[in-house]
Structure formats: structure tokens, C-alpha cells
Structure 1
Amino acid sequence: MPEKRKGQSRHSPLVLTDTEKLSREEWLEYRRRGIGGSDVAAILGISPFRTARDIYYDKLNIAAVEPDEGNWVAMEMGHLLEDLVAKIFKRKTGYEIYQMKKMFQHPEYPFMLADVDYFVTLPDGSTAILEIKTTNYNARDHWWLGGTETVPVYYESQGRHYMAVMDMDRVFFCCLYGNTEDEVIIREIQRDLSYEEEMIYLEQEFWESQVKAQVPPAYLEDGDLIISSSRRHSGMADMNAPAVKLNMGMTAALIRYLELQEEKKTSEEHSRKLEKDIQRIKGILIAEMGASCMAVCEKEGFRYTVTYNPVRKAGIDKDGLFRLKLQHPEIYEEFVTVSESRRFHVKVKAEEAA
């Protein structure tokens, strides 16, 4: 237990369950009882992978977020390399590390859960948290901001959530981006009680006003993220579904979308903010339509019709083509055609001096 700080009481986290022998399904069921560290970024609106609506559907067991997050190979590699990265951290720092296969719970805010990768025993006898991450070589730049060492904000929120639940003051991150011991990034963040207070408030608001009340949170994220989230939840387009009648709020959003489109036509220079606003409103309208392919509304004597029709064509992806060649080479040879394209390129190089 860390030393008591002036003006602040300390607590010991509760143990919700031992996790060592839990199946994947059982573990997910316990996670749905509250907010975990990896959920926080989406709730705060800073996740590049999920929306708050994704977390909401996951907690109500309507649609799980795990299978659709990023590249499944990268996720599996992260799990497989966890012990190796922890070993690298130990060799680099000299700190002792250990695991507790438990899911912890905040005693005052029981919706706050923590499933920590590792714990670190520091030279002064205190305990810190260690979070293991893996990334690719190109994404390592996310750990710097303007040339200064940093922790990506979506990981920072996870670490601060864990500090709040565990009542610990330091979190280390160890991120492997290559295949050698030196291709690793180690960062540390310390507790920030002002950040923590606001984070807990927003988590509590989400848990009580959205999850427990079963009121889905509004889509406030970037347009592409909203569209991706909506399509996961609504599924394939249904050409037979009735047209959605847009309410006043959605009608206002549609009018604003059209105004921004006109502004874009008359704008002399490209505006990233304008494009971002257009795409976000488009995402909100698409989410409102769900599986339906049409939405309608009326305003001031005008009738507006929005269509979002599927464009479908039969095809075979790269993996399917590879399996076809392996399993049915005679069919592959008979029906697969090879097309040719050529690229034109000019390379300029100064002549070497004689």
C-alpha cells in the first residue's frame, strides 16, 4: 500500500474474481459488470478504435467490441509476447515484477475494474503498475509528441484508471516495436488527481446514465469511426426495411450537412475542419438509419430523402484466391485470368564526376 498523502485517504482495492482459471467467455462476463481500463479512452472520446456506443453495446451484451478491434494478428501477437516484453522490462530496469491473476474493483466506485498486466516492486518498497504493449515499427512514433517522450493518450487513460482502482501512484509502460531487446520503449506516468477526478466523474456518468439506464450515448466521434461502429451494430443493409423518419434533431443535422456541402463548393481553399464536420454529420445520419437504406423528413415545405444503398458485387478476396489455388488447382487454372498493368516512373540522379 502506498504511503498516505496529505489530505487524501487511501484504500485497498476489492477482488472481484480470480482470473487464472476463467474461460474467455467467463472473463468477458465479469468485464461487463463494470468499466475496464481499455474502455476508458472510448468513454472519454479519445480512442482511435472504438466509440462510446461500442462500449455501451458491449456492456449490455448486444455486440462485443473485442473481435472487431484492429488487426486480430496484432492482438494475438500482443498476448503471446506479453511475458517476453515483461522480461525485457525487468532486464532493462532491474526492477522485480510479478503478476496477480485477479480482477480488482474500486471499493467506492464498484463500476471501476482493473485487470493489471504486472506489478513492479520499487527500491523504496512501494508498488507500481506495469502495462505491456506491442506495436509495429512505423507506429512507434506515437510514443513521442513534438520530439518529447510521451504516452499515447488512449494508453494514458488506461494507466490512470488502473492507478485510481489500485490506489497506486506510478504506472510503467513497456512497448516492444521490433524483434531485439533494444527495440523497446519504456515510459512512466505518475498520478494526477485532477485528471483522475474528472475521469471518475465521466465514467460514473456513462455507467449510470447510459449503461444502467439503457440509454445509448450520442455519437460524438470522428465520422469514419462512427460509420464503422454503426455498420458493426446494424449489420448488412436491408433493402426491404421501411424508410426511417428523421426527428427534429436529425433533420437539423441533415440541413447542416447540406449547408456545409454548399460551403465546401464555394470555399477557395481546402479545410480539414470542414471535411471533418461533414463526415461526422454523415456518420450520425448513417447511424440513425441503421440497416435501412432510406430516411425521409420534411422542413419548411421541402421533403428530403436520404438514401444509403449497398453496392454489392461478387468477388473473391486474396485469401480465398490463395485457398482456391491450393485446394482446387484445376478450377483455378481454368477460370482465373491474369491481368497486366505497367507503372511509368522517371528517376533523376546526378552524374558522378569523372
Structure 2
Amino acid sequence: MTATKMSGLPLVTPTGRLIAPAGLPREEFLANRLAGIGGSDIAAVLGMHRHTSPIKLYLEKRGELPPLPRPAWLEEAADIGSDLEEFIASRFARMTGTWVEPIGTLQHVDRAWMLVNLDRRVEGCDDGPCFVECKNRSEYQFEDWRDGVPDEPALQVHWGIGVSGYSHGHLAALIGGNKFRHVRIDRDEQLLSHLVEAGERFMKRVLDGDPPPIDGSDATTELLAHLFDVHPDAIRELDPAKITPLLAERDRLKAEVKEREQQLSEIDNQLTAELGDAEIAQANNQILYTAKKNGVFANKRFEEAHPEIAARLRKTVSVLDVEAVKEQHPDEYRAHRARVIRPAKPRKKAA
């Protein structure tokens, strides 16, 4: 059923109708997501999602996103996160003296395109009914959670508050398998107003077939790498009025990056010179900076300075023979090469 056909369902939260129960098969769950903007979508709408960009989300909502390879590590992380959701929710309940239960996918009573799949409804909270979102995160992300909440899950909770109509929500996270954090997030009308406006503009783009601008995120780069079946040496006529300014801005930015890199190297060299043979700089018993010998190892310089040691300590490493792939499987080789922008050199004017 589409979102518009759900309008007769009763409210299960102050402003949320239950349009799908918890535990739906993955295919049905993903199909429901196409009807609007969900909690995991709002960060992408704002360009703040780690793995999804606005253009990728737009194509997904339009049903125009081709099947994309999903990294094995990301698939495994999602599966483990799903398995641990019950543990995280139960631990949250024990630590807060509440009880939790699955709820499912909600639709806003007045805005059918506003959807959210809440992990658990919470009962017994001192300030009334609410919900908790459960996250499993790696040890590498611990610093992001030490003194607060990363933007992406915080936005997801705010969106859940907006759809459900609750006064607050909770976020519970298991980090590195042995550190548990939970925070309460209160309703912020100003932020919710901004999120609703952004979501509404995005849904209008989806319905009007008006794609958002191409951004520079890793998610968009990855999308473009798989979006087109590139034909070797194919030519497409483009509008120079649109392309020429882009190429000029690209040249300007590359020159600026080079200049900034040179300026940064100059400052680093000055700081290194100030230290001399020391590794730690301090003033008034406070450390200012360090310059320890813990950077990249200079293989070539080492081999030139100590050829005997280098010869004795060489080891054989198993690596993919890229040249053999290129020769024996040219189509597969080309499909996995990155596209590189190389502006054409200006033509010389005839004398």
C-alpha cells in the first residue's frame, strides 16, 4: 500500500499512524521507504550522511537507482547491528528502568511523506511515552560519542520526534562491543521546522523529476563510478557556456590547493627547524606541538643507505597482478578503473 492509502489508520503516537509492523521482510521494508523521507534519509537530504548523498537518495526515491555493489564490511556491519538491536534496547531498558517494545514504521498524520521506522517504543519514562533508536558502532567511532552525539543519528532521532509527535526520544549506542552510551534528545521546534522544510523541498524535487546538484561527497563519487556504462572514446557534445566556467573554476581550485600545500609545508618546516633535535615543543609547562619520527617510512631512501639490510629483509607479498588482469580481462579491468578529468590543452592559433 502507498502512503496515501494509509490515511484512515488510527494514530498510535500523538501524530503518527502505524503503516507497517516491525519485522517486515527486507524487500517490503525497503519498498515502504520509497513512499517518503525516513529517519535514515534526512541526513542524506541535508548532505550529512556517511554513505548516501542527495543525488543518490533522489535516484532511490525515483526508483531509478541501479543495483550498486555494497561493500562486504558494510553488509556485515548492518547484519551485526540488526542482531545486536535487541541487546541494545534491553540494556537501555534495564539502565533506565523502562520497558521497550517494537513498533514499526510510522507516517505523519498531516504529511504523508514523513515516515520513520522506530526501533523501540519506550514506556515508563518519567516524562511520558517516547522511543529509542539503537546503534552499534565500531571502536574507531568512540571519539564521536565521547562528549555528545554525531549529527547523523541525532538527526534521525529528531526526525522520529517530528513524525511521532513525542516530546523527546533516546539514542542508545554500543561502541566497540564493550562501551554503552545513551542520551536523551528533546524536541526542538526550530530544528524540526528546518528539517520538515528541507524534506518537503526534496520530495518536491523527487515528484517533479528535478535532481539535486552533484556534490563532492564520497557517496556521489562512488555512485558515479557505477552509474554509467561508459563507452570507450565515445563523444558527447556539451554546452560550453556551462562547461567552460566549471573547467576554469577547477583550474583555479587546483592552483589554490597547490599554493596552500606549499604554504603548509613552509610552516611545517619552520616548526621543525624551531625544534632542532627535540621532539616536543612546550611553553609554560604546556605542550604546543610534537614532531616525532613516527611518520611514513622512506623505503627508497632506506634501501639506498642500507642495501645489505634491505636485501636481507625483503619479503614476498601476494598482490593482484593488475597487468595480467588488464591483458586477460580487458572489459573487467576497464569497468573498475576510475574516471579521471583531464582538461584538453588549448589549441594553438595558426600563425
Shift of 1:229: 2.5
Q: 2:53 aligns with which of 15, 29, 51?
A: 51
Q: 2:185 aligns with which of 184, 189, 207?
A: 189
* 1:285 corresponding residue in structure 2: none
* 1:78 corresponding residue in structure 2: 81
* 1:255 corresponding residue in structure 2: 248
Residue 168 of structure 2 aligns with an amino acid whose one-letter code is: R
Could you report, residue by residue, the CA deviation over 1:137-181 in whole angstroms, capped at 9, with x for unpaired residues? 12111113xxxx21110111111111000001111111112344x
* 1:230 corresponding residue in structure 2: 224
Question: Aligned pair in 2 of structure 1 residues 303, 129: CA closer, same or farther (>3 Å)?
Answer: farther
Question: Aligned pair in 2 of structure 1 residues 293, 66: CA closer, same or farther (>3 Å)?
Answer: closer
Aligned-partner SS, 2:118: coil
* 2:161 corresponding residue in structure 1: 163
Shift of 1:66: 8.7
Question: Aligned pair in 2 of structure 1 residues 203, 238: CA closer, same or farther (>3 Å)?
Answer: same
Structure-2 separation of matches of 1:252 and 1:63: 29
Q: Which runs of 5+ in 2 are unaligned?
A: 1-12, 266-336
Aligned ranges 1:303-322 → 2 under 5 Å: none
Question: Aligned pair in 2 of structure 1 residues 254, 42: CA closer, same or farther (>3 Å)?
Answer: same
Residue 93 of structure 2 aligns with an amino acid whose one-letter code is: K
Shift of 1:303: 6.2
Structure-2 separation of matches of 1:246 and 1:303: 18
Aligned ranges 1:14-53 → 2 under 5 Å: 14-20=17-23, 22-53=24-55
Structure-1 separation of matches of 2:95 and 2:227: 44
Shift of 1:292: 11
Aligned ranges 1:201-212 → 2 under 5 Å: 201-208=197-204, 210-212=205-207
Task: State the Cα RMSD in Å.
Answer: 3.0
Structure-1 separation of matches of 2:116 and 2:67: 18
Could you report, residue by residue, the CA deviation over 1:111-143 in whole angstroms, capped at 9, with x for unpaired residues? 110110001113446111100000111211111
Preserved contact between residue 121 and residue 129 of structure 2 (Cα < 8 Å): yes
Residue 173 of structure 1 aligns with an amino acid whose one-letter code is: L
Preserved contact between residue 103 and residue 115 of structure 1 (Cα < 8 Å): yes
Does 1:89 pair with 2:92?
yes
Aligned-partner SS, 1:42: helix
Runs of 4+ in 1 over 4 A off after TM superposition: 64-67, 291-298, 301-304
Could you report, residue by residue, the CA deviation over 1:213-261 in whole angstroms, capped at 9, with x for unpaired residues? 1111102343x34312222323x54315333525533321111111222
Structure-2 separation of matches of 1:292 and 1:74: 26
Aligned ranges 1:337-352 → 2 under 5 Å: none
Preserved contact between residue 243 and residue 295 of structure 1 (Cα < 8 Å): no
Preserved contact between residue 117 and residue 132 of structure 1 (Cα < 8 Å): yes
Aligned-partner SS, 2:133: strand
Q: Which runs of 5+ in 1 are unaligned?
A: 1-9, 272-290, 305-354
Could you report, residue by residue, the CA deviation over 1:272-303 in whole angstroms, capped at 9, with x for unpaired residues? xxxxxxxxxxxxxxxxxxx99698999xx956
* 2:9 corresponding residue in structure 1: none
Question: Aligned pair in 2 of structure 1 residues 115, 247: CA closer, same or farther (>3 Å)?
Answer: farther
Q: 1:269 aligns with which of 257, 263, 270?
A: 263
Residue 211 of structure 1 aligns with an amino acid whose one-letter code is: V
Shift of 1:198: 0.7
Could you report, residue by residue, the CA deviation over 1:31-56 in whole angstroms, capped at 9, with x for unpaired residues? 10011100000101111221001111
Percent of matched pairs sharing the same residue: 23
* 2:208 corresponding residue in structure 1: 213
In our comparison, the structure showing a higher alpha carbon Rg is 2
